[in-house]
């Protein structure tokens, strides 16, 4: 009777390596390559990535459009893609996180994202505002400082009174008819403001 050789069968899945019985995951595939760009380093993809889950574009408030970011980091790409079958039986690449169908073009610049960017970048807060007889009253210096910052960006001015936030649009505060200056304070009618 022959000796049975001691054999162990190790199952290896695609993408795994094996050393004896130990299954190990090889170093992550190289998914990007780097290139110096100006004063920084930009990473470019070598394989498909999810455009929706990756941070490759940003809203440019100046040009009012979505543009590729100047520098993109490795971590900005989301490469976790698998293949799925659609109803017609066709195999297609799909994002494992958000389910985006990579056969489609991704439209950057959804309105709610634009609004979020505008909200974050385009509001200048002015402190020490108070309400008085139908007017919101702001210290002159704070108002001047806020407007200096906000004016060229056409940003809204924001004030907070009793835990409510109110905003004033550029069109309103850039119109001198709306502004009353008195005793080192600026008076703006309550009705000119909207709740933010």
Q: Which of 37, 55, 97, 189 binds Zn ion (CB under 5 A)?
A: 97
Least Cβ distance, residue 110 to Zn ion (angstroms): 14
140 near Zn ion, rule: CB under 5 A: no
- As beta bridge partners, residue 186 has 138, 181
95 near Zn ion, rule: CB under 5 A: yes
Contact 24, 17 (CB under 8 A): yes
Least Cβ distance, residue 58 to Zn ion (angstroms): 17
53 near Zn ion, rule: CB under 5 A: yes
77 near Zn ion, rule: CB under 5 A: no
Least Cβ distance, residue 38 to Zn ion (angstroms): 29
Distances (CA, A) of 85 to 53, 88, 96, 106: 21, 8, 13, 20
48 near Zn ion, rule: CB under 5 A: no
- The rounded distance, in Å, linking the Cα atoms of 170 and 151 is 7
Which CB atom, from 52 or from 69, has the smaller least distance to Zn ion?
A: 52
57 near Zn ion, rule: CB under 5 A: no
Say if residue 196 is exposed, middle or buried (CB neighbours under 10 Å; 0-12, 13-18, 19+). middle
Contact 53, 100 (CB under 8 A): yes
Sites of contact with Zn ion (CB under 5 A): 50, 52-53, 95, 97-98, 100
């Amino acid at each position: 009777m022959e000796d049975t050789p001691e054999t162990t069968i190790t199952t290896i899945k695609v993408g795994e390596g094996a050393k004896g019985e130990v299954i190990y995951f090889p170093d992550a595939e190289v998914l990007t390559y780097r290139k110096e760009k100006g004063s920084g380093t930009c990473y470019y993809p070598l394989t498909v990535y999810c455009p929706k889950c990756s941070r490759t574009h940003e809203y440019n408030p100046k040009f009012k459009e979505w543009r590729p970011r100047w520098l993109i980091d490795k971590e900005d790409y989301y490469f976790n893609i698998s293949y799925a079958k659609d109803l017609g039986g066709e195999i297609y690449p799909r994002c494992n996180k958000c389910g985006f169908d990579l056969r489609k073009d991704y439209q950057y610049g959804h309105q709610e994202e634009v609004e979020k960017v505008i909200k974050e970048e385009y509001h200048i807060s002015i402190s020490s505002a108070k309400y008085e007889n139908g007017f919101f009253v702001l210290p002159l210096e704070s108002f001047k400082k806020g407007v200096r910052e906000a004016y060229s960006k056409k940003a809204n001015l924001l004030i907070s009174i009793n835990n409510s936030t109110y905003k004033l649009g550029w069109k309103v505060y850039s119109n001198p008819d709306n502004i009353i200056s008195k005793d080192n304070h600026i008076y703006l009618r309550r009705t000119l403001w909207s709740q933010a």
